[in-house]
């Protein structure tokens, strides 16, 4: 478990909004899981440890391999920081602009040539010399080709920001052999126009499971009072652009980390509640949340200061009733 707020730096430029910034607190913790490959005696030891899960390497890396999986998880961390900043700043009454910024690759087909040159987290900015602003743009450019054609693309890695030009052979659609496919799952990459600069030093930690903790810590820094009321709170869960909280992995191990941190409350996604409660065994209070607002309510219930009512809720939260 690591205290979140000391990792966050928030600055506003000369033309930016005036920030109400509170002193740095140390009561919000995000939880991480360590992954390593045991051998020999260590493997025998961890097999008898209820706090350790032993799985095959492929379960961790998927079809992408170890290095590609690391790249993807670094990209997930970048996205988690952006989503956390957006949700927190909007909850504090600031406007955050969002615009499309290319077609980001979520996954690739291991059976097609694309898997050797494009990786999850890569963002396609152009294809065949034409700009790609949305995922639909790329799909339309692919539709103009036939199977076996070469597609020229300009991509940028979300994890390190390096741009490169590549060529990839298009495959055939499995249900219609005359139709060309790239063999990827795509989403439109959001770009944000933040009114202030929010920097989070996550070190070597990757993935998206700290998103909720980041969002709560940012909001705590820029609103009066203490969201936790001075109580230690351990948090795991992704944060989505609509303020919903998503599932994570390694919950049993994170429960142990939460208990060791001295926290009195652990917030988990609703999908992980049963696992967390079972692992906690009454050693720490566990609350399930489905939205950012539910997380704030849970903190109020343990004595935390509520967010001032004059701060407007974002439309996504209002629409959830």
Domain end marker among 191, 223, 258: 191
- Domain check: are 61 and 174 in the same one? no
CA distance 25 to 146: 58
- Domain check: are 156 and 29 in the same one? no
Domain CATH for 116: 2.30.42.10
Domain containing residue 143: 98-191
- Domain check: are 147 and 13 in the same one? no
Q: What is the per-residue pLDDT across 280-301, written as a single tens digit (0 to 9) for each?
A: 999 999 999 999 999 999 999 9
- Domain check: are 255 and 228 in the same one? yes
- Domain check: are 154 and 170 in the same one? yes
| Between residues 32 and 57, the one the model is more confident about | 32
Please give the tally of structural domains in the chain: 2
- Domain check: are 67 and 174 in the same one? no
Q: What is the per-residue pLDDT across 223-258, written as a single tens digit (0 to 9) for each?
A: 888 999 999 999 999 999 999 999 999 999 999 999
Confidence of residue 72 (pLDDT cuts 50, 70, 90): confident
- Domain check: are 173 and 311 in the same one? no
- Domain check: are 116 and 179 in the same one? yes
Q: What pLDDT is stored for residue 23 in this prediction?
A: 66
Confidence of residue 70 (pLDDT cuts 50, 70, 90): confident
Residues 6+ apart with CB under 8 A from 132: 102, 103, 124, 125, 126, 138, 141, 153
Secondary structure of residue 226 in the 3-state scheme: coil
- Domain check: are 7 and 87 in the same one? yes
To the question of pTM greater than 0.95 for the whole model, the response is no
- Domain check: are 113 and 55 in the same one? no
Domain end marker among 171, 191, 211: 191
Confidence of residue 310 (pLDDT cuts 50, 70, 90): low
- Domain check: are 175 and 199 in the same one? no
Q: What is the per-residue pLDDT across 101-136, written as a single tens digit (0 to 9) for each?
A: 999 998 899 999 999 999 888 999 999 999 999 999
Which of 6-20, 49-63, 191-205, 225-239 has the largest mean confidence? Answer: 225-239
CA distance 174 to 188: 24
Average confidence (pLDDT) over 31-52: 58
- Domain check: are 86 and 168 in the same one? no
Q: Please give the mean pLDDT across all residues of the chain.
A: 86
Q: What is the per-residue pLDDT across 147-173, written as a single tens digit (0 to 9) for each?
A: 999 999 999 986 678 899 999 999 999
Domain end marker among 166, 191, 216: 191
Domain CATH for 251: 3.30.230.10
């Amino acid at each position: 478990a690591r205290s979140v707020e000391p990792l966050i730096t928030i600055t506003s430029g000369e033309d930016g909004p005036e920030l109400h910034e509170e002193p740095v607190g140390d009561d919000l913790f995000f939880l991480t899981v360590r992954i390593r490959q045991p051998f020999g005696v260590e493997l025998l030891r961890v097999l008898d440890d209820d706090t350790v899960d032993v799985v095959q390497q492929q379960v961790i890396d998927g079809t992408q391999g170890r290095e590609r999986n690391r790249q993807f998880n670094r990209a997930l961390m970048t996205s988690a920081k952006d989503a956390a900043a957006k949700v927190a700043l909007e909850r504090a009454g600031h406007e955050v602009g969002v615009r499309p910024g290319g077609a980001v690759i979520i996954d690739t087909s291991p059976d097609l040539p694309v898997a050797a040159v494009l990786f999850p987290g890569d963002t396609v900015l152009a294809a065949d010399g034409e700009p790609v602003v949305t995922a639909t743009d790329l799909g339309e450019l692919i539709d103009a080709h036939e199977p076996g054609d070469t597609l020229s693309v300009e991509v940028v890695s979300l994890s390190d920001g390096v741009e490169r030009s590549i060529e990839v052979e298009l495959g055939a659609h499995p249900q219609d052999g005359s139709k060309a496919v790239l063999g990827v799952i795509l989403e439109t990459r959001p770009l944000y126009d933040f009114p202030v600069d929010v920097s989070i030093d996550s070190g070597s930690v990757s993935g998206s499971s700290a998103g909720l903790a980041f969002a709560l810590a940012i909001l705590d820094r820029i609103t009066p009072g203490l969201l936790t009321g001075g109580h230690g709170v351990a948090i795991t869960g992704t944060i989505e652009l609509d303020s919903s909280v998503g599932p994570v992995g390694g919950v049993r191990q994170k429960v142990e980390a939460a208990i060791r941190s001295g926290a009195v409350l652990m917030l988990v996604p609703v999908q992980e509640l049963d696992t967390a409660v079972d692992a906690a065994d009454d050693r720490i209070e566990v609350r399930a949340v489905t939205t950012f607002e539910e997380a704030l309510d849970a903190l109020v219930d343990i004595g935390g200061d509520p967010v001032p009512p004059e701060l407007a809720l974002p439309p996504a939260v209002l629409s959830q009733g």
